Every structure is written in structure tokens, then in C-alpha cells.
Structure 1
Amino acid sequence: AFAASDNPRSKRVLLRGWEQFDEPVDRIVSIGAFEHFGRDRYDDFFKKAYQVLPDDGVMMLHTIIKPTDEEFAASGLPLTMKLLKFSKFIMDEIFPGGDLPKPTDVEEHAANAGFELKRAQRLRPHYARTLEIWAAALEARKDEAIAIQSQEVYDRYMKYLTGCAELFRDGYTDVCQFTLTKS
């Protein structure tokens, strides 16, 4: 369907790391990568994206985010030992070096590169459901998953999927799709 669409723009999808792009592109879609770049690389990422997009270019950046300090304070969510232990588990065993941005981090670094924020769409309840579906699918194929990996790996990923689903349901984390245009 994509290749057959009636559109004068090119119809290639390039699956590459952002550092590998030097040629112009019409659009950029980044899904689930930004939170792994590291804060020290945000400016380089947005500068590169701005550089390779045309004047009417659009980028959709889909990333997991954490609330701003003000959002967290207003939420009334408790900071519990359970939350701290789960966060340590994620940082140690699932995403070492991962660092969730705040929405303001994305907005500020994008603006510094010349982008204009057109829309920030929060998808928290939908992503909680996605994680629940992934956990159910893994559980349904438990024996096969353990045979391919191990009980330890299976348990780790079930803990990750179900724990993250809870964080999203409760509001400790969110997913946001930022639509950015060149200004």
C-alpha cells in the first residue's frame, strides 16, 4: 500500500541510525530510540534531523518520557521503595544507560535546532495496554520462550513488561509523539 500510494515524494523507508544519514529525506519517523541516545547527544540528533529535512520537512518523534518535576508534584504519585527498586532493575538489567527525557527536554532541544512543535500527543493509556498485550503474548508462549532462552530471561522480561505496564497505568511514565516542523 505504501509503495503504491499516489504521491510525488520518494517511497523508501530507511532503517538506519540517525548518525548514518547525510542525504536529504522528506520525513523522519523515530520510534522508541530517542530515550537511548543520551542527553549529551540530543543537540546533535536534532541538528542532523534539521539538516537532512527539506524546508517543508516534518519529523515525528515517538519516545517514552518521564513527567517534569511540576507534573510529578501535581500528580500526587508517591515515590515508593517498590518504584525505586523497579527503576533500578530497568536501569541495570533492561536498558543500561537509558535515560528518559522529560517532554520539556524534547521541546527545548528541538527548538534550539530550529524546529517548531506542532503537536505533542500523549499515549500513556494506549502504551499501558500495548505492554499488557505483549506480556500476555509472551506468557502464552512461555514454554517456547524458555526453551529459546531460559527461565531467568523469561522471568526478567515478564517483570519488565508487567512492571512497565503498571508504571504507565499509574502515570509514572508516558509515551509522547512529538510532531515537529522546520520553522
Structure 2
Amino acid sequence: MQSIDTALIKMITSHYYIKRDTIVNKIEYKGKTFFDKFEKVNEMLNYKVINAHEEGKIIAAHSLINAFDKVENIVFDYNGRTPERFWHRAQLLLREEGFINFTAYESKTPGHLHLYVHKGHTTLHEAYQLANMLSMKLSQKMAREWRMFPTLEMPKEFNILALPYRLYKKERGASWSKHM
């Protein structure tokens, strides 16, 4: 992965997670039991780790919530079969809602995307509300084939995403935005 690809999203680099073959932790949350296979590594997320992830030697993940309960990105984790249609619908919705910076990355599974909506320094509570609102509005236009992050449905430790593999498409304050 080129440095420009990951520079588009503000990742929390103070720590990262590595997927293990065994269960690392068991968490009870809202009457559900979650089994965690990602182990937290309290070291900087650097290019060595990112390259090992890209080469398939490890599966690394980054956290969406920082130590001060702030969020930089709202993320659609799309797991459907029509990524082009999803990108088009999501792009129209995000533009309509006033977002001009968002980036989609391909995940390990072909056709699955992580769409990062660059919101900036947002409180965790506001991020939960914004993620729910965006998901509800998009689900009015197409069948729901995604999960939103951050989410209240899982513990904060589970609001992590595997590092992206390739850039799919990006939107960066296009010339149309000045006419809105």
C-alpha cells in the first residue's frame, strides 16, 4: 500500500491490533458474549506493520475510537455483491448530506468495501448518532448490506477495522461543492 492511500484516512496510530488464530478475550456486553481474536499491540502502527498486512503475513486492524473518545471517521463496512452500485448510492447520499471528503477501500474479500467518511474530531456519542442516521437514509435507497462503525451494538474494543488493501475510489471536495 502506498503512503498516499493510508494518508487519506486519519488512523489512530498509537496502537494496533493483530488477528490471532485463537480467542484472545471474551467480553460480555448487553447480554451478548463476544469472542475477540484481535490482540491489542501497544506499539506505533508503522509501515513495517502495514507492509506485513499487505503481503498477507498478518491481519492488522486499527481502532476507530481514540483514547479521548473522539472519532475521525464514520465507516460503512459494505459486504454485498454490487460495490459499484453501493458506491454510487452512498456518494449521492454523502454529497446531499454535505460531506465532501470520503474514501472507499477494498477489503480482503473481493467486492467488499470500507467507505470512510472523514468527519473530523467528533465526539463518540455524535459519531454513533451520525452513523445511524447515514445508515437509515441509505437503507431507504437500497437493501442493507453493510454495518456501520462506530456502533453501540458492540463494545468499544470491537470498533476496529482491518487495514485496507487497495484504494477503490475517493471523493475530495469536488468543484460542485462550491455551488451547494
TM-score (norm 1): 0.26
Which is bigger in relative contact order (C-alpha 8 A, separation at least 6)?
1
> Which of structures 1 and 2 has the bigger CA Rg?
1
**Higher helix share goes to which structure?**
1
